[in-house]
Structure 1
Amino acid sequence: MDPTRLRVFRAVVQSGSINGAATRLGYTPSAISQHVSALQRETGLVLVERRGRGIQPTAAGIAVAERATRVLDQLTDLEHLADDLRAGRSGVLRIGAFMSANRVWMPRVVAGVVDDFPDLRIELSLAELRGDRPVELDLDVFIAEAVRGDRDPAVADGSADGYDVEHLRTEDYLAVLPAGHPLVGRERVELNELRDADWIDNDIARGPCREILITACRARGFAPRFRVQASDYPSSFDYVAAGVGVTVVPRLGAHLLPAGVTAVPIADAEVRRRIMLRVARSARTNPAVRRATELLRAAAVLPAAAPHALA
């Protein structure tokens, strides 16, 4: 049924006449009559009947008018919801991120978004592997599969599968060393200098960040001797602080290092990871999505925390 005809018919019933509805809606009486006749054809019901020089709604007409009021109220609510969603005032913003981006970037990004859109609900999906995330994300911060050269960050820019993809940042890796380690105090270390060390594995998901590191070690003719399997970066730092071994993490992962460890940059140029952002093209015009994208770009260009030792 045409909502306009429902609205016209409701006005006829509420005002009690064709002329009253015409005055109320700014239509001509002829246009009102045409809408009522069309609605009767659509429903197959007699909605009004002649009474003298006027009309009167039938029992069926009264029932249709009452239900039409509920339907039209719901349509109005839907229109208001659409207005809010276009303006980013309500709804859900779905963001995917890997763990270190969630720890370092997402608190500031989420705080900025909720300041501007206080009625917005934000759902975060945390996973190291892109395949583990829901496909309906509005924004997704992820690690590219590999870094193959200095100019490579631009290669993955573009679009795919309904998403626009852009490069956010390429960063180096850091060796996290226990106090007293011979390499503490160096400006940089070569990956080869860690070949005989005991390592703490820090990525139980076996994601792309770990693969970049393992591939670089393999190219130098060795495999890390993992003494402990830790589930994440912060846990691996605790084992390093206890003197169990060393670990290697991307720079963003060396956040809030505990006492008793030092982070030293890895000199090898190919031991880097490329951080990418996917934005659903269907959500590009959403103000909340635009704001979150701006905040992520700003976070990505902030200087990374300098490697340091904590006593």
Structure 2
Amino acid sequence: MDVHRLRVLRAVVAAGSVHGAATTLGYTASAISQHLTALQRETGLPLVQRAGRGIEPTAAGRAVADAAAGLFHELAELDALVADLRSGRDGALSVSYFASAGSAWIPGVVAAVTRDFPRLRLDLRLLELTGPDAGAPDIEIAVDDGSGGGRPGYRCRPLVTEPYFAVVRAGSPLAGRADVDLVELRSEPWVDNDVARGPCRQALLDACTTAGFSPTFHIETQDYPTAIRFVAAGVGVTVVPRLALLDLPPGVVAVPIVNPTPRRSISVQVAESMVDNLAAVRILELLADQVDAWTQDRRLSSAG
């Protein structure tokens, strides 16, 4: 059955006449009659009957009109769902991020956006564990690879550039220093912390090349927290970006590196198809707030 013709029938039943329905819907009386005739042909039922100079719905017509009420309620809900999906108030959104960003920024972003969009389903993906078949995310927080270009079909927004620190054992001669020249770490046994050999590690290796040496990695670990715990155990030193210094364990000290200072830049990319999505826009706002607050905390800590 034609949904529009059902709407016309309901208008006739509600108004009590063809002319009343025509006024309500903004049609001519002739158009209303044509829709009723077509609907009777579709259903094979007499839906209206003559009553004096006008017409009135039959019992079958009233039954069909009443039953259609539920259909129009469901259609209204469907229209609302489509509008919510289009705007980002409903549906799913995939967000990829790397581990240290996940620890520092993602919990606050997720807590706020799920309050703002309670029907939104978030697909959170850790970059270090994402396989090649995972599909492109809607939003990605990643370390710049130095190529100067982002993902095709995405808009890129810089977030922060952060320095690296040497993490040494508390009893080391370097532990009490205000800073350490990168070349002074040349003879130290290094604990590697980036098995993925990604842009974070490359930024460090490039700085070492500038300083005139290549680090000697004695131990290879999977991530920053593990490498730092090896340092606490007295195995060697490790060099990590500032984000990795959250919740340092007892027995280690983070010392700023100079001459040169290795740095990495972090950006967020959003798919072109999602730039007007309300939830995606909100996530970008919340992420910027988290980064700003984190940066301010680091400045206050350094000043103290």
Structure-1-length-normalised TM-score? 0.77
Q: Please give the secondary structure, in 1, of the residue aligned with 2:289.
A: helix
Give the letter for the 1:305 counterpart: R
Structure 2 equivalent of residue 202 of structure 1: 193
**Aligned residue pair count:** 296
How far apart are residue 7 of structure 1 and its match? 2.2
Give the letter for the 2:277 counterpart: N
Go from structure 1 to structure 2 and tell me whether the alpha carbon gap of 1:56 and 1:113 turns closer, same or farther (over 3 Å shift): closer
Q: Distance in 1 between matches of 2:133 and 2:202?
A: 19
How far apart are residue 299 of structure 1 and its match? 2.4
Ranges in structure 2 where 5+ consecutive residues have no aligned partner: none
Q: Does residue 227 of structure 1 match 2:255?
A: no
The answer as to whether partners of 1:49 and 1:58 remain within 8 angstroms in 2 is yes
Q: Distance in 2 between matches of 1:102 and 1:56?
A: 63
Q: Does residue 239 of structure 1 match 2:220?
A: no
Structure 1 equivalent of residue 166 of structure 2: 175
Go from structure 1 to structure 2 and tell me whether the alpha carbon gap of 1:83 and 1:51 turns closer, same or farther (over 3 Å shift): closer
Q: Distance in 1 between matches of 2:279 and 2:175?
A: 44
Go from structure 1 to structure 2 and tell me whether the alpha carbon gap of 1:68 and 1:146 turns closer, same or farther (over 3 Å shift): same
Structure 2 equivalent of residue 144 of structure 1: 144
How far apart are residue 210 of structure 1 and its match? 1.3
Structure 2 equivalent of residue 299 of structure 1: 290
Deviations 1:185-204 (A, max 9, x none): 22222222222211111122
Give the letter for the 2:137 counterpart: L
The answer as to whether partners of 1:13 and 1:57 remain within 8 angstroms in 2 is no
Q: Distance in 2 between matches of 1:16 and 1:110?
A: 53
Go from structure 1 to structure 2 and tell me whether the alpha carbon gap of 1:273 and 1:216 turns closer, same or farther (over 3 Å shift): same
Deviations 1:129-186 (A, max 9, x none): 8875844533211111028xxxxxxx55xx7533211111111111111122222222
Give the letter for the 1:105 counterpart: W
Q: Return 210-219 or 188-197, whichever deviates more.
A: 210-219
Go from structure 1 to structure 2 and tell me whether the alpha carbon gap of 1:186 and 1:307 turns closer, same or farther (over 3 Å shift): farther
How far apart are residue 40 of structure 1 and its match? 7.2
Structure 1 equivalent of residue 241 of structure 2: 250
Q: Return 267-276 or 171-180, whichever deviates more.
A: 267-276
Structure 2 equivalent of residue 90 of structure 1: 90
The answer as to whether partners of 1:125 and 1:133 remain within 8 angstroms in 2 is no
Go from structure 1 to structure 2 and tell me whether the alpha carbon gap of 1:64 and 1:198 turns closer, same or farther (over 3 Å shift): farther
Go from structure 1 to structure 2 and tell me whether the alpha carbon gap of 1:57 and 1:97 turns closer, same or farther (over 3 Å shift): farther
The answer as to whether partners of 1:48 and 1:55 remain within 8 angstroms in 2 is no
Structure 2 equivalent of residue 275 of structure 1: 266
Q: Return 1-10 or 89-98, whichever deviates more.
A: 1-10
Identical positions, percent? 47
Go from structure 1 to structure 2 and tell me whether the alpha carbon gap of 1:70 and 1:126 turns closer, same or farther (over 3 Å shift): same
Q: Distance in 2 between matches of 1:47 and 1:237?
A: 80
Q: Please give the secondary structure, in 2, of the residue aligned with 1:142.
A: strand
Go from structure 1 to structure 2 and tell me whether the alpha carbon gap of 1:126 and 1:160 turns closer, same or farther (over 3 Å shift): closer
The answer as to whether partners of 1:174 and 1:251 remain within 8 angstroms in 2 is yes
Structure 2 equivalent of residue 81 of structure 1: 81
Deviations 1:243-300 (A, max 9, x none): 0111111111111111110111221446211101112233233333222211212222
Q: Distance in 1 between matches of 2:174 and 2:300?
A: 13
The answer as to whether partners of 1:146 and 1:273 remain within 8 angstroms in 2 is no
The answer as to whether partners of 1:263 and 1:307 remain within 8 angstroms in 2 is no
Structure 2 equivalent of residue 152 of structure 1: none
> For 1:1-311, what aligned pairs fall within 5 Å after superposition?
3-9=3-9, 11=11, 18=18, 21-22=21-22, 25=25, 27-37=27-37, 46=44, 48=46, 54=55, 71-85=71-85, 88-128=88-128, 134-146=134-146, 156=149, 161-269=152-260, 271-301=262-292, 302-303=295-296, 305=298
Q: Distance in 2 between matches of 1:208 and 1:133?
A: 21
Ranges in structure 1 where 5+ consecutive residues have no aligned partner: 148-154
Go from structure 1 to structure 2 and tell me whether the alpha carbon gap of 1:66 and 1:205 turns closer, same or farther (over 3 Å shift): farther
Q: Please give the secondary structure, in 2, of the residue aligned with 1:266.
A: strand
The answer as to whether partners of 1:99 and 1:127 remain within 8 angstroms in 2 is yes
